[in-house]
């Protein structure tokens, strides 16, 4: 079958799945059956987390630039898109409804505000990225943290988007919608999750991806090889911020309520934990990490009384334990396939498989170059 | 690769199959069995002391109800969930409480922002929710199933403005508020509006964040403009220290505040520097009335610490709910909702509680003076348009929107729905 | 004028605490090139150590320099031990892994300490006993309205004393020379026979002790202590270390004082030029960004060529 037919078929399958799942999770359910709302909510939140984790993975996992301000870009995307919806979209939607009917009108408006949110977030990424990406790892981390905090403080000061009360709908005296409409459902969230994964995958597999990975491995060498590292780093940063913005827009229209308390430092850390757990530099790892970290707190609620209050302690301990025992995360830098059943590759020179725990690695964990499903592990020598 | 995908698909379908439920109407039955009440709050985050205090109050009230035989023969069971102080999580836990735990009523949240995130879920599922201490007017505007047992910001801000202008004869006021807190900001804005409408002048507006350690910069700037009073509508953690630093800088003007000051730690932090300040509150822990003293003693015995305003409000929210359930005779949603809305002159520890047509609590505020580690009664301020009660007639409804004026008819036969 | 002096005193007071904490950051970074995220939490641990010791020994509040000294020394020792434990069990095992791994580990340790405290003793603020009597004693007036309180004076004096002590250790003792050698080049120092692990432990110990001193001192000025007090303060102290030149000891002190002063002036005078005092925390970050853009080596630091 020619590839493009395969692709179209794949697309159709995905869309059908999303629509079915969405109906299943909705109020009316599918043939009278539905998923409990609680689970439906968790699944939707997981979808948003997947977008966040995958986009962060692009800049932190694949390009090696440690950004702990991702929640800031999510906030920018969320607030800017919701701002548009609440204050400027009502007229447009009504006009379109007259032309095309309600569903199509809503979809168009929603898509428009999502794109708007993504663009603003990308802009923020540019503003933050250009000065910061010149800095080395640890400094970059602190600066991204600082920017996220500044963004949060600025938003907190804007009364028109709710300030310290939160953004639920129009703030008098300005005119607009009373309540943020719930545009986002599983079709949108799942759809964008799939889009994010596909985009990141394609970037990583392309020449650009190789440039990014080379920057992660050894920035000086990459520069010496003629790769304009700053340009690539900024590009990855902007793309990842844009997707964070999309996640934020979806989040805002799903929750129908925005407050800066949802975008604090701890949120950025959660996303970091997701990709660390899953394996930085692994797309399936990021997805896995997102799923686990979103669902884990809900599972932990079932803990008996005393242990319940130690939930966050368990979280942090988890992070430490992962770093101590398997810093490359669950997936390492590999993707999901059956090849993990195969024995790991052995280096001709020594006995120990490269990239496994126990071999001191000077710079970074082992890279895997994904090449049509086969894995070639390339370890790094101790310098 | 294809095989694993298919396997994954199969597993997921099976899981979903197990997890599905029949879509009914989800009406929470009211018949028999324990009364399930969901409490949600911040139990492990930044503001966990608030969530914890409120929880203590709620649980103590529930225990008292159960020891007295329950309500209509049913015991009260509190199901607690932690939202870590994040609005997103507040919405999620409320969904869980309603959907999974099938609670018949909700108590929460302390912070208006979290209440605002969660209230729509309660409203949609038609589960009555009573907030013990969210003061932003918008919370009860979400819908007719959302109530509260505390003041709203417009009222409390106005109280202190009136007190400073009328009783303290202040003309110049400075404000130092917690900019991260919706409660503090709300009070600040309404105080400012009231004070200026009474002819006063706001000479300085400074802010800090909860967790700040040093306020000398803001206080020195305030000192330079020489205010008559300084309004500090924040929480006890910072206020105690602010009071101290104020005295260190030689500022003589009294500090004014709200119920956020009310916690036993306030005295430890502020010590003697607090003397001569005033707050508006629902009640006073030193109120000699036997009901309040019993509450304080029981709380102290159970939790080894004196109750703060939040614990008292948590306690009252549970008691009001219990009272409504008893009057309704069931926990069926519409009946319960109506019963709560009809609450009148309920003798809570935080004052006589009546629910007005906007589903807010109507009760007078007391102004207390801080003197030697005690809150000493100074005066009572009633909602606009009300007369001081001779009997226990409920005062008129306070305002829900901006503006100090807003007389309303006495809430004699408060209509439950809007 | 007296307002200006007052703000200056306030600023330097805040800055002295930042300086004490920044010293720990700068020393650890100098040696390991590691940003010790958990350092701010050690400051908090120090304050709580002092609190619990005072509580368990029943030391009553009230002017007693003896009690204060005792608490100070005790909490410094405890914090030093905590610091060494963190280094030994969390940082040392991952030292050979990538930078990112160690950074994530540091974040993990920081979160663990904070959440452990919150889970164990609750996030409610506690009141640290006042051993200087500052709550009852009036401040000393300088001129006009400017005043300096007893607590502020003690903070200045103790901070300066500790910094001088550190200076002496680092530049006048054999151990200090070893520390400087390790910060210069770890492997060469190892080749020279220096027990680098021990030196690293010692560095953590000293840094943590200083942070704890900062914690106890600040608690005298502001008795409100809570488990999350270290986060923002720690971050700002890090900025101070960067401002002064990371790895440079006098730089950390200078950075701390400057950040403290800048913050206070922005808050104090910002009202007049339209910057709300809400932007206080943003000041530190803004300074950080400017420094890293314009002079990444910091005020007193030297540019280090990156060797290939």
Contact predicate C107/A319, CB 8 Å: yes
Compute the distance between CA of residue B399 and CA of residue B379 in angstroms, rounded to an integer. 21
Domain-embedded: residue A92: yes
Tell me, yes or no, if A165 comes closer than 8 A to chain B by beta carbon.
Answer: yes
Query: Which residues in chain B (132-191) have CB-CB distances under 8 A to chain A?
Result: 136, 138, 179-182, 185-186
Reported confidence tier of residue A39, pLDDT bands at 50, 70, 90:
confident
Distance from CA of B65 to the nearest CA of C (A): 27
Q: Could you tell me which residues come within 8 angstroms of residue B25 by beta carbon, excluding any fewer than 6 positions away?
A: none
Please report the residues numbered 276 through 305 in chain C whose beta carbons come closer than 8 angstroms to any beta carbon of chain A: 276, 278-279, 281-282, 284-286, 288-289, 292-293, 296
Judge whether B214 and B238 are in contact, CB under 8 Å.
no
Distance of residue C301 Cα from the nearest chain B Cα, in angstroms: 29
C82–chain A nearest CA distance, Å = 16
Q: Do C96 and A360 touch (CB under 8 A)?
A: yes
Distant-in-sequence, close-in-space partners of A50: CB < 8 Å, separation ≥ 6: A193, A196, A197, A286, A287, A290, A291
Residue C303's pLDDT is what? 61
Q: For residue A366, what pLDDT is reported?
A: 41
Of the residues A34, A163, A165, A181, the best mutation for testing chain B's interface (the one with the most B CB atoms within 10 Å of its CB) is A165
Contact state of A138 with C33 under an 8 Å Cβ cutoff: yes
Distance, CA of A373 to CA of C137 (rounded, Å) = 75
Residues near A328 by beta carbon (within 8 Å), at least 6 away in sequence: A279, A280, A355, A357, A365, A366
Interface contact C118-A317, CB threshold 8 A: no
Collapsed DSSP state (helix, strand, coil) of residue C52: helix
- B104 close contact with A: CB closer than 8 A: no
Which phi-psi region, left, alpha or beta, contains residue A329 (left: φ > 0; alpha: ψ -120 to 50)?
Answer: left
Using DSSP's 3-state secondary structure scheme, residue C267 falls into helix
pLDDT classification of C275: cutoffs 50, 70, 90: low
Among A348-362, B168-182, B235-249, C87-101, which stretch is predicted with the lowest mean pLDDT? A348-362
Residues A242, A99 share a domain = yes
B16 pLDDT higher than 60: yes
Chains that touch B (3 or more CB pairs under 8 A): A, C
Q: What is the pLDDT of residue A343?
A: 42
Confidence category of residue B192, pLDDT binned at 50, 70, 90: very high
Asked if A159 reaches chain B (Cβ–Cβ under 8 Å), the answer is no
Q: Are residues A69 and A24 in the same domain?
A: no
* Cα B291 off chain centre by: 20
**Partner B contacted by A334 (CB < 8 A):** no
The position carrying tokens 């079958």 is A1
The answer to whether the Cβ–Cβ distance between C96 and A272 falls below 8 Å is: no
Q: Kindly report the CATH number that applies to the domain delimited by B2-151+291-355.
A: 3.40.50.2300
Q: Do B331 and B35 meet the contact criterion of CB atoms below 8 Å apart? A: yes
Q: Does B83 touch chain A (CB under 8 A)?
A: no
Residue B187 burial (CB count, 10 A): 34
Position A333 scores a pLDDT of 67
Task: Report the pLDDT averaged over residues B383-410.
Answer: 39
Residues A18 and A134 in one domain: no
Range from A202-216, A254-268, B22-36 carrying the lowest mean pLDDT: B22-36
A269 touches C107 (CB < 8 A): yes
Domain boundary among A201, A231, A266: A266
DSSP bridge pairs for B352: B347
The pLDDT value recorded for residue A136 is: 74
Instruction: Tell me what pLDDT residue B412 has.
Output: 32
Q: Determine the Cα–Cα distance for residues C298 and C294; give it in Å rounded to an integer.
A: 9
Q: Which residues in chain B have Cβ-Cβ distances shorter than 8 Å to C114?
A: none
Do residue A59 and residue A189 come from a single domain? yes
Paired sense of beta strands B374-381 and B365-371, if any: antiparallel
Q: Residue B389, CB half-sphere, CA atoms under 13 Å: how many?
A: 15
Beta bridge partners of C129: none
- For chain B, the domains span 2-151+291-355, 154-281+365-411
Whether the per-residue pLDDT at B98 is higher than 80: the answer is yes
Res. B107 pLDDT band, cuts 50 70 90: very high
Q: Copy the structure tokens of residue B162.
A: 């009136």
Residue A306's pLDDT is what? 63
Tell me whether residues C285 and A146 touch, CB distance under 8 A. Answer: yes
pLDDT digits (tens, 9 = 90+) for C93-138: 888 887 778 888 998 999 999 989 988 888 788 888 887 766 556 6
Helix (H, G, I), strand (E, B) or coil at C148: strand
Question: Which of left, alpha, beta for B299 (phi over 0: left; psi -120 to 50: alpha)?
Answer: alpha
CB-closest option in C115, C139, C281 to B209: C281
Q: Which of A255, A309, A336 sits opposite B44 (nearest CB)?
A: A309
- B411 phi and psi angles, rounded to 5 deg: -85, 55
Instruction: Determine whether the interchain pair A66/C96 forms a contact, defined as Cβ–Cβ distance below 8 Å.
Output: no
Same domain, A11 and A158: no
Range of the domain at A23: 1-35
Going by CATH, does the domain composed of B154-281+365-411 fall within 3.40.47.10? no
Q: What percent of chain A has pLDDT over 90?
A: 31
Q: Is C213 helix (H, G, I), strand (E, B) or coil?
A: helix
* Cβ pairs B/C, distance under 8 A: 138
Give the residue from chain A lying closest to C235, CA to CA.
A142
Asked whether the beta carbons of A38 and B100 are under 8 A apart, the reply is: yes
Q: Tokens 């005779």 sit at which residue? A: B329
CA distance A99 to chain C (A): 47
The reply to whether A110 and A29 lie within a common domain is no
The full DSSP string for A113-163 is HHHHHHHHHHHHHHHHHHHHTTS-HHHHHHHHHHHHHHHHHHHHT-GGGTT
* Token digits of residue C88: 């030994």
What does the angle CA C22 – CA C24 – CA C27 come to, to the nearest 5 degrees?
A: 105
Average pLDDT of the segment spanning A234-257: 94
C117 touches chain A (CB under 8 A): no
On chain B, the residues whose CB falls within 8 A of the CB of A254 are none
Q: For all residues of chain B together, what is the average pLDDT?
A: 83
A131-135, A234-238, B28-32, B153-157: segment of lowest average pLDDT: B28-32
Nearest to A149 among C34, C242, C281 (CB): C281
| Chain-chain contact of A35 with B20 (C-beta, under 8 angstroms) | yes
Taking only the tens place, the pLDDT of each residue in B207-252 is: 888 778 788 888 888 988 999 999 999 988 889 889 988 888 888 8
pLDDT digits 0-9 by tens, A255-265: 999 999 899 88
Q: Which residue of B has its CA nearest to A255?
A: B88
pLDDT above 60: residue A352: no
Domains held by chain A: number = 2
Q: Is A344 within the bounds of a domain?
A: no
Which chain B residues are Cβ-neighbours of A163 within 8 angstroms? 182, 185
Tell me if B44 sits within 8 A of C115, measured CB to CB: yes
The answer to whether the peptide bond before residue C62 is cis (omega within 30 degrees of 0) is no
Convert the pLDDT of each residue in C234-270 to its tens digit.
888 988 998 998 878 888 999 999 999 988 888 877 7
Mean pLDDT computed over every residue of chain C: 85
Contact at CB, A272 and C104, closer than 8 angstroms: yes
Neighbours of A73 (CB within 10 A): 38
Residue partners of A169: CB distance under 8 A and separation at least 6: A86, A176, A177, A178, A179, A180
Q: Is A256 near chain B, with CB under 8 Å? A: yes
Which residue of chain C comes nearest to B52, CA vs CA? C122
Best CA proximity match to C36, nearest among C255, C265, C246: C246
When pLDDT is averaged across residues A253-278 and rounded to a whole number, the result is 90
Report the predicted TM-score, pTM, of the whole model to 2 decimal places.
0.84
Q: How far is A130 from chain B (nearest CA, A)?
A: 30
Look up residue B77 and give its two tokens.
Answer: 């069971």
In angstroms, the CA A276 to CA C99 distance is 13
Residue pairs between chains A and C whose CB atoms are closer than 8 Å: 120
User: pLDDT tens digit string along B282-328?
Assistant: 877 777 788 888 999 999 999 998 888 889 999 999 999 999 999 98
Residues A364, A370, A371, A377: is their CA dihedral positive or negative? positive
Q: Please give, one letter per residue, the 3-state secondary structure of chain B.
A: CHHHHHHHHHHHHHHHHHHCEECCCCCCCCCCCCEEEEEEECCCCCCHHHHHHHHHHHHHHHHHHHHCCCECCECEEEEEEECCCCHHHHHHHHHHHHHCCCCCEEECCCCHHHHHHHHHHHHHHCCCEEECCCCCHHHHHHCCCEEECCCCHHHHHHHHHHHHHHHCCCCEEEEEEECCCHHHHHHHHHHHHHHHHCCCEEEEEEEECCCCCCCHHHHHHHHHHCCCEEECCCCHHHHHHHHHHHHHCCCCCCEEECHHHCCCHHHHHHHHHHCCCEEEECCCCCCCCHHHHHHHHHHHHHHCCCCCHHHHHHHHHHHHHHHHHHHHCCCCHHHHHHHHHCCCCEEECCEEEEECCCCCEECCEEEEEEECCEEEEEEEECCCCCCCCCCCCCCECCCCCCCCCCCCCECCCCCCCC
Q: Is the pLDDT of residue A378 over 50?
A: no
Q: Mutating which of B3, B10, B20 best tests the A interface, going by the most A Cβ atoms within 10 A?
A: B20
Domain check: are A100 and A16 in the same one?
no
- Do residues A161 and A101 share a domain? yes
Shared domain for A95 and A23, answered yes or no, is no
Which range among A127-141, A296-310, B159-173 has the greatest average pLDDT? B159-173
Per-residue pLDDT at A370: 37
- Determine the pLDDT at residue B24: 55
B154-281+365-411 has the same fold as B2-151+291-355: yes
- Residue A379 pLDDT class (50, 70, 90 cuts): very low
Q: Which residues of C touch A65 (CB under 8 A)?
A: none
Residue B418 vs residues B112, B141, B342, C130, C223: alpha-carbon distances, Å: 22, 10, 13, 54, 49
- Partners of residue B4 in chain A, C-beta under 8 Å: 336-338
pLDDT confidence of A269, banded at 50, 70, 90? confident
The distance of A143 to chain B (nearest Cα, Å) reads: 21
Contacts of A27 in chain B (CB under 8 A): 23
Q: C104 in contact with A at a CB cutoff of 8 Å?
A: yes
Position B387 scores a pLDDT of 46
For residues A95 and A344, which has the higher predicted lDDT (pLDDT)?
A: A95
pLDDT of residue B403: 30
- Is-contact A129 A121, C-beta < 8 A? no
Q: Closest chain B residue to A173 measured between Cα atoms?
A: B402
Note whether A117 and A2 are same-domain residues.
Answer: no
Torsion angles phi and psi, residue C194, rounded to 5: -80, 135
Per-residue model confidence (pLDDT) at position B148: 93
Segment A215-219 mean pLDDT: 86
Per-residue pLDDT band for B60 (boundaries 50, 70, 90) equals very high
Q: How confident is the model at residue A216 (pLDDT cuts 50, 70, 90)?
A: confident
Residue B391 · residue B378 · CB < 8 Å: no
Q: b vs e for A310-320, b when ≥16 Cβ sit within 10 Å of the residue's Cβ?
A: bbbbbbbbbbb
Between the alpha carbon of residue C159 and those of residues B108, B186, C15, C18, C204, the distances in Å are: 46, 40, 10, 10, 18
Residues of chain C with C-beta less than 8 angstroms from the C-beta of B49: 122-125
DSSP annotation of A365 reads P
Note whether A313 contacts C119, CB cutoff 8 Å.
Answer: yes
User: In the prediction, which pLDDT does B396 show?
Assistant: 33
- Do A151 and A224 sit in the same domain of this protein? yes
- A76 and A162 inside one domain: yes
């Amino acid at each position: 079958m020619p590839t493009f037919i395969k692709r179209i078929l794949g697309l159709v399958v995905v869309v059908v799945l999303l629509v079915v799942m969405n109906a299943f999770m909705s109020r009316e359910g599918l043939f009278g059956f539905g998923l409990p709302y609680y689970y439906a909510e968790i699944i939707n939140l997981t979808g948003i987390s997947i977008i966040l984790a995958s986009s962060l993975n692009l800049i932190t996992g694949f390009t090696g630039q440690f950004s702990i301000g991702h929640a800031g870009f999510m906030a920018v995307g969320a607030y800017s898109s919701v701002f548009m919806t609440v204050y400027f979209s009502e007229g447009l939607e009504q006009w379109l409804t007259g032309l095309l009917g309600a569903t199509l009108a809503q979809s168009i408006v929603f898509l428009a505000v999502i794109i708007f949110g993504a663009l603003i977030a990308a802009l923020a990424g540019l503003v933050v990225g250009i000065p910061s990406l010149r800095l080395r790892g640890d400094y970059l981390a602190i600066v991204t943290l600082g920017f996220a905090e500044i963004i949060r403080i600025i938003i907190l000061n804007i009364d028109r988007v709710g300030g310290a009360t939160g953004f639920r709908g129009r703030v008098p005296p300005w005119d607009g919608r009373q309540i943020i409409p719930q545009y986002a459902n599983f079709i949108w969230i799942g759809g964008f999750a799939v889009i994010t994964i596909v985009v990141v995958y394609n970037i990583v597999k392309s020449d650009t991806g190789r440039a990014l990975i080379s920057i992660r491995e050894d920035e000086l060498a990459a520069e010496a090889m003629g790769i304009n590292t700053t340009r690539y780093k900024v590009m990855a940063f902007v793309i990842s911020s844009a997707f964070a913005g999309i996640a934020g827009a979806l989040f805002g229209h799903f929750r129908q309520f925005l407050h800066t308390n949802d975008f604090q430092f701890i949120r950025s850390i959660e996303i970091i934990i997701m990709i660390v757990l899953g394996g930085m530099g692994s797309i399936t790892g990021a997805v896995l990490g997102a799923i686990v970290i979103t669902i884990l707190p809900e599972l932990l609620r079932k803990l008996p009384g005393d242990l319940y209050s130690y939930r966050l302690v368990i979280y942090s301990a988890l992070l430490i334990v992962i770093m101590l025992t398997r810093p490359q995360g669950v997936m390492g830098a590999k993707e999901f396939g059956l090849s993990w059943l195969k024995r790991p590759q052995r280096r001709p020179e020594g006995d120990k498989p490269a990239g496994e725990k126990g071999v001191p690695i000077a710079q970074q964990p082992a890279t895997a170059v994904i090449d049509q499903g086969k894995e070639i592990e390339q370890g790094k020598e101790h310098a | 690769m294809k095989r694993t995908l298919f396997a994954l698909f199969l597993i997921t379908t099976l899981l979903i199959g197990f997890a599905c439920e029949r879509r009914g109407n989800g009406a929470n039955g009211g018949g028999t069995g324990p009364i399930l009440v969901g409490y949600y709050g911040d139990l492990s985050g930044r503001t966990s002391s608030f969530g914890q205090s409120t929880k203590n109050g709620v649980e103590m009230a529930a225990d008292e109800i159960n020891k007295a035989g329950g309500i209509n023969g049913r015991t009260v069971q509190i199901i607690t969930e932690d939202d870590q102080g994040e609005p997103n999580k507040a919405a999620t836990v409320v969904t869980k409480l309603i959907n999974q735990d099938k609670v018949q009523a909700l108590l929460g949240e302390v912070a208006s922002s979290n209440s605002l995130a969660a209230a729509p879920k309660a409203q949609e599922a038609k589960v009555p929710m009573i907030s013990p201490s969210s003061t932003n007017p918008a919370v009860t505007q979400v819908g007719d199933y959302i109530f509260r047992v505390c003041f709203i910001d417009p009222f409390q801000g106005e109280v202190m403005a009136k007190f400073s202008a009328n009783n303290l004869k202040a003309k110049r006021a400075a404000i130092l508020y917690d900019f991260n807190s919706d409660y503090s900001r709300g009070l600040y804005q309404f105080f400012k509006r009231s004070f200026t409408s009474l002819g006063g002048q706001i000479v300085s507006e400074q802010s800090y964040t909860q967790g700040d350690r040093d306020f000398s910069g803001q206080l020195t700037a305030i000192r330079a403009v020489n205010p008559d009073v300084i309004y500090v509508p924040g929480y006890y953690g910072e206020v105690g220290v602010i009071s101290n630093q104020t005295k260190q800088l030689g500022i003589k003007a009294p500090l004014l505040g709200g119920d956020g000051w009310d916690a036993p730690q306030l005295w430890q932090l502020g010590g003697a520097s607090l003397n001569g300040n005033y707050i508006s509150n629902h009640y006073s822990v030193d109120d000699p009335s036997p009901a309040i003293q019993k509450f304080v003693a029981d709380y102290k015995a159970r939790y080894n610490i004196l109750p703060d305003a939040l614990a008292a409000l948590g306690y009252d929210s549970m008691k009001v709910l219990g009272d409504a359930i008893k009057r309704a005779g069931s926990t069926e949603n519409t009946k319960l909702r109506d019963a709560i809305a009809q609450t009148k002159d309920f003798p809570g520890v935080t004052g006589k509680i009546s629910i007005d047509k906007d589903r807010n609590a109507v009760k007078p505020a007391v102004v207390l003076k801080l003197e030697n580690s005690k809150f000493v009664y100074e005066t009572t301020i009633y909602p606009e348009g009300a007369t001081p009660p001779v009997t226990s007639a409920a005062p008129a409804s306070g305002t829900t929107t901006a503006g100090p004026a807003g007389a309303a008819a006495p809430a004699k036969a408060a209509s439950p729905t809007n | 004028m007296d307002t200006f002096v007052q703000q200056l005193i306030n600023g330097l007071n805040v800055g002295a605490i930042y300086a004490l904490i920044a010293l720990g950051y700068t020393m650890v970074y100098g040696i390991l090139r590691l940003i010790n995220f958990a350092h701010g939490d050690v400051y908090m641990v120090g304050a709580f150590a002092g609190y619990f010791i005072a509580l368990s020994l029943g030391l009553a509040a009230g002017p007693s320099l003896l009690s204060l000294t005792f608490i100070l020394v005790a909490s410094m020792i405890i914090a030093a031990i905590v610091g060494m434990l963190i280094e030994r069990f969390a940082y040392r095992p991952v030292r050979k892994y990538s930078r990112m791994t160690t950074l994530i580990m540091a974040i993990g340790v920081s979160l663990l300490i904070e959440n452990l405290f919150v889970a164990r003793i609750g996030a409610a603020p506690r009141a640290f006993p006042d051993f200087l009597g500052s709550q009852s004693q009036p401040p000393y007036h300088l001129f006009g309205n400017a005043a300096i309180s007893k607590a502020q004076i003690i903070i200045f004096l103790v901070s300066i004393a500790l910094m001088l002590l550190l200076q002496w250790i680092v530049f006048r003792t054999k151990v200090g020379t070893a520390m400087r050698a390790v910060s210069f080049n770890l492997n060469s120092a190892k080749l020279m026979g220096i027990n680098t692990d021990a030196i690293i432990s010692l560095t953590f110990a000293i840094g943590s002790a200083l942070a704890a001193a900062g914690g106890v001192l600040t608690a005298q000025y502001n008795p409100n202590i809570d488990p999350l007090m270290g986060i923002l303060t720690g971050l700002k102290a890090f900025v101070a270390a960067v401002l002064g030149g990371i790895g440079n000891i006098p730089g950390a002190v200078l950075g701390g004082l400057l950040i403290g002063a800048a913050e206070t002036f922005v808050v104090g005078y910002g009202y007049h030029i339209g910057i709300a005092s809400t932007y206080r925390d943003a000041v530190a970050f803004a300074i950080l960004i400017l420094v890293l853009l314009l002079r990444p080596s910091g005020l007193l630091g030297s540019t280090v060529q990156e060797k290939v």
